[in-house]
Amino acid sequence: MVLRHTKWGQHFIISQELIDRLLEFASINRRERIFEIGTGDGRLTRSIAQRCSYVLSYELDKLLFNTACNNMKGYTNLKIINGDALKADADDFDCVVSSLPYYLSGKFIEWFARQKVPRAVLIIQKDFFDKLAANVGERKYGPHSVIAQYCFRLTKGDLVPNGMFTPPPRVTSVIVRFDRKVRLEKARDISVGLKMLFSFRGKTIRATEKLLKKSSQGALPEFPNKNMRVEELDPNQAILAATMIRGVVD
């Protein structure tokens, strides 16, 4: 049974075809340990458990947690926790899988950047993926674009018809794979620095340096082109700038 319960903004997968496509994209094998964010009613969790050695699944909602535990009786390679997955550590796992509530997408990027787990496969809002994949200088290029492109190789999968969820979302969804390039251990601090940096969008590096100095908010690295605008910094440059603004070493 699928619950029509949207306290946390969930859209439940009701299509086995979508589940199969998602897990095929994740390339899960029998030896792997999988970390799932959002158990829901257990439909996706069940299919993950059938394909891997162990699943740790988090569900924040107590009603859904109880439903999933009841639905998943008999599975010995599975543990479901009633709690917030984004406050947990996934370093001992091979892959993160989730059909994530869309409002958590930004928080997920900052959380996953800190983890050691090598890959993740998610269903997210297409508009958010477009932000993550935006080219340097484009309107949608911003802090989450920088973190995602610095830390991961992004692969866009299939678009997901709205009718594969209940309730159907009002936005277009897409399957996305994140393969790790590097770990950003201090992603929280660097994210704050990036948001501060991009608050000067449209301004040159020279003007931004002056404004940061005037407000005692930090400093920028010595970029050779002072006429370059903030949104023209590539991910490596932007991470370096954010690190200096926040005074952290990653």
CATH architecture of the region 12-180: 3-Layer(aba) Sandwich (3.40)
Report the pLDDT value the prediction gives residue 1, as an integer from 0 to 100: 46
Sorted by where each begins, the domain ranges of the chain are: 12-180, 187-246
Question: Is pLDDT above 70 for 248?
Answer: no
Distance of alpha carbon 141 from alpha carbon 238, whole angstroms: 11
pLDDT tens-digit profile of 133-170?
999 999 999 999 999 999 999 999 999 999 999 989 98
Question: Tokens for 132?
Answer: 């993550």
Average pLDDT, the chain: 93
Question: Is pLDDT above 60 for 195?
Answer: yes
pLDDT-derived band of residue 9, with 50, 70 and 90 as boundaries? low
pLDDT tens-digit profile of 78-100?
999 999 999 999 999 999 999 98
Question: Is pLDDT above 50 for 2?
Answer: no
Sheet strands side by side (includes 33-37): 78-82, 54-59, 33-37, 95-99, 119-125, 173-180, 152-160
Distance of alpha carbon 74 from alpha carbon 71, whole angstroms: 9
